Amino acid sequence: MRIYLADIPEEGLELKGTLDRKIFDLDPNDEAQPAGDIRYDLVARVSGDLLTLEGQLSSPFELRCVNCLERFPYTVEIDPYLAAIEIEGSSSIDLTDQLREDILLDLPSYPRCEEGDEPERICQLSGPLSFESASATPPSGKEADSRNPWQALDKLDSPEESA
């Protein structure tokens, strides 16, 4: 999406439309995959040596939950969107990379089902894994001691060891 700085009036230039999802250029094996085009509604202004963008961005994705590994829909919504780009004496600026990077940076680092566009969705594996969730009855006695990774260190503090 290239804009020419000479076309931007003093009150700003309204930019509204969509960009093809192909600009993300993500590997098909990536955990995040674009599910639709980018929608933008921006106002561009030139102020000194800066081009400022204000408005809204949104783009649908399909993410993989870090808990259950199921895919779920997630929409990146950046509202308000603000960006400042150095002009550096250019007559035109391509905004594609700026918009692409800002959207990708807004994706969650560790996506979970509950964060998606389906508010009623609950992750099948929500909550921390523990002995209680792994078996019907928690281990006890020698079985619990054999599973205790701190068992050897616990013995170091006991009075029998220090004598």
pLDDT in tens, 67-124: 888 899 999 999 899 999 998 877 888 899 999 999 999 999 998 888 887 777 777 7
DSSP assigned state of 128: -
Number of Cβ atoms within 10 Å of the Cβ of 117:
12
Do both 95 and 21 map to the same domain? Answer: yes
How many domains would you assign to the chain? 2
**Phi, then psi, of 39 in degrees rounded to 5:** -105, 135
- Is residue 18 a contact partner of residue 36, using CB atoms and an 8 Å limit? no
Do both 14 and 53 map to the same domain? Answer: yes
Residue 157 belongs to domain spanning: 131-162
- Threshold 0.85, pTM exceeds: no
Q: Going along the chain, which residue ranges are E strands? A: 2-4, 13-19, 33-34, 38-47, 50-64, 71-86, 92-94
- Angstrom distance (rounded) from CA 73 to CA 62: 5
